[in-house]
Amino acid sequence: MIQGLMQQQPLMISSIIEFAERWYPDVEVVSRTVEGPIHRCTYKELGKRARRLADSLKSLGISAGDSVGTLAWNGYRHLELYYGVSGSGAVLHTVNPRLFSEQLSYVINHANDKVMFADLTFVPLLEALADQLPNIEHYVIMTDREHMPETTLNSVICYEDLIKSGDPDYQWPVFDENSASSICYTSGTTGNPKGVVYSHRSTLIHTIASSIPNGLNLSGSDSVLLVVPQFHVNSWGVSYAAPMNGCKLVLPGPAMDGSSIHDLLESEKCTLSLAVPTIWMMLTGFLRESGKKLPHMKRVVIGGSAVPEAMIRCFEQEYDVQVIHAWGMTETSPLGTLNFLMPHLQELDYEAQMPIKLTQGKSIFGVDIRIVDDNNNPLAHDGIAFGRLQAKGHWVTSGYLGDEDNKAVGSDGWFDTGDVATINPDGYMMITDRTKDVIKSGGEWISSIEIENLAVGHPAIAEAAVIAIPHPKWDERPLVVAVIADGQEIDKTKLLSHLAESLAKWQIPDDVVFVDELPHGATGKLNKLKLREDFSDYKFPTT
């Protein structure tokens, strides 16, 4: 076979920051810092600091393949670590501070982190865990000398002192593109969290694919507010995609309330932002209370859990901001599908478009999806059949760190996501439930997600979760657990009547319980495992 006569270069994460330094040197990275002030730098300046950091890692005993942990908010120093650590050949482990303490010590030890970089916020957290972290040789506090705290941690280093010792002209090494670049752990709602190890190759391909028009549609005209944490699945890839496309990047630090988010959207003229639904609930609540608008925003990307119809309508009809509904997971780097309307669907009126907007969208090139039955037989893409959602592709995991049995992927190469979904004839996928959350009632499956979205669609409901409760006749029946919005009043009869307008009679929940708040996991998703535990003794009034 004739070989192509094209140059071939390993796909290196360092090439992204090199590109941004050279071709977008004056584009800003704006950060709200833990210390308080807004920090501004350019990609040229950030690139030099990332080089200094990469060089200075040697003084900490870090070499290629070693794991380096971070406990940090979204900020310019964390972004420097994204490039300095991975670019040097070491492996970046972004630790989710919202994990339980036992899970935190587990993932840090399991990843064999040798050095831990931490924002000031998380110093007390590390002090409480230090005696459980025998492999950590140095703690680097991500601040300057003026703000260094007193601490009981051993071998503490000031971040700004560390990078001053590094060479700003450090040359990025070139090595095997399949080398590990970063590690993220699943949230671990059942059992210990699992480590997903990304490569330079998978990360670069994911970054390119996520940038295209049918992806995040990024360009140098965008100012991107990255609300999704940098410790969530490599910040959904945006910490790589923004520099690659010359986007202005705005990082909110620890301030995640609606007012603080709006301030940055306004002051930095952000055109795009990405976050989970709970963040957007806070923002839209603030907007309605304050009367403020979103004059610069063009689109929001919402993932992590299904987007309620009311949220889509709020952004698109009240604020003229396009909603991009996305699906993915730690094991898919994370992007799997994104929702954009095909031309024949754009011709429909808004109400006819809404059922499509509520889906998680279509695959982007590089990842494939399918639905299968319990015997692993592929099911039709007819919008009716629903089954286990599976994925495979260039940035889908092939196994978990330290999992010698490697049961993550089947012999046919497909990864089972744990979601239940349908795919319609146009290729739009819709998650109907998690495998463990679907409600099996009288031989029929009821989607908890559909009921949750309808419940939140009522103006008096701030948040809702639906779980299965054992039933002597029907096996399981749905229970709604809801939080009433501030200043609103509603009883269960009114909420059930609201649900009955859109559900078949057999799908209507048997009861509603109102609570002050719902439990959430480390990634901001509803923690239904905890909710099922809380309601393990619950009995329906009718039984």
CB 366 within 8 A of CB 331: no
CB 343 within 8 A of CB 354: no
Q: At residue 164, what are phi and psi to the nearest 5 degrees?
A: -60, -25
CB 95 within 8 A of CB 182: no
Residue indicated by tokens 């059930």: 496
- Sequence-distant (≥ 6) Cβ neighbours of residue 103 within 8 angstroms: 188, 192, 193, 522
Q: What is the DSSP string of 176-203?
A: -TTSEEEEEE---SSSS--EEEEEHHHH
- Sequence-distant (≥ 6) Cβ neighbours of residue 213 within 8 angstroms: none
Which stretches within 63-199 are classed as H helix? 76-88, 101-110, 123-129, 159-164
Cross-strand partners of 368? 392
List residues with catalytic annotation. 186, 331, 440, 445
Residue 10, CA distances (Å) to 7, 45, 87, 110, 481 in order:
10, 25, 12, 29, 51
CB 278 within 8 A of CB 520: yes
CB 362 within 8 A of CB 429: yes
Among candidate residues 179, 186, 219, the one with its CA nearest the CA of residue 92 = 179
Alpha-carbon gap, residue 157 to 382, rounded angstroms: 58
Q: At residue 308, what are phi and psi to the nearest 5 degrees?
A: -65, 145
- Residue 269 half-sphere exposure toward CB, CA atoms < 13 A: 5
Alpha-carbon gap, residue 103 to 107, rounded angstroms: 6
CB 299 within 8 A of CB 323: yes
- Sequence-distant (≥ 6) Cβ neighbours of residue 318 within 8 angstroms: none
Cross-strand partners of 199? 180
Q: At residue 486, what are phi and psi to the nearest 5 degrees?
A: -55, 135
3-state SS, 483-540, equals EECCCCCCCHHHHHHHHHCCCCHHHCCCEEEECCCCCECCCCCECHHHHHHHCCCCCC
